[in-house]
Amino acid sequence: MTDLTKAKSEEEWRAVLSPEQFRILRQKGTERAGTGEYDKHYESGVYECAGCGTPIYKSDTKFKSGCGWPAFFDAIPGAVVRHEDHSFGMLRTEITCAACGGHLGHVFKGEGFPTPTDERHCVNSISLKFNTEN
């Protein structure tokens, strides 16, 4: 996708996203823990941004964290952008789609999961769509 994707107006995003997708992707919301369709989803394929279709995560980077949201230990190179998030009186690392700026979730480090990066990308299911690999 191009930078033009980021340039969509609020009305254009509302026209292509469901109200819940808009709340999470464009307004930085969060779905309730344990409610997303990809939390316990472990098929082989690629998770793409639900807003623009950019590939974000490969299924082989997904792991069971028990947090209630899909967890990945790494994104496809260049697919996400990290931002400091000071909301809720704490410092977190927000991740957004590099192509459209859609909110995906947050990255947490040093939690002790046995992954190659020692990171947990805690992602809203509604921010993703899944495609099987060809």
Q: What is the residue range of 71's domain?
A: 3-132
- 43-97, pLDDT tens digit by residue? 999 999 999 999 999 999 999 999 999 999 999 999 999 999 888 788 899 999 9
| Cα–Cα distance for residue pair 4/7, rounded to 1 Å | 5
Residue 6: which pLDDT band, with cuts at 50, 70 and 90?
Answer: low
Predicted model pTM: 0.91
Structural domain count, the chain: 1
pLDDT at 5 over 70: no
- pLDDT of res. 4: 47
Return the active site residues: 122
CATH code, 30: 2.170.150.20
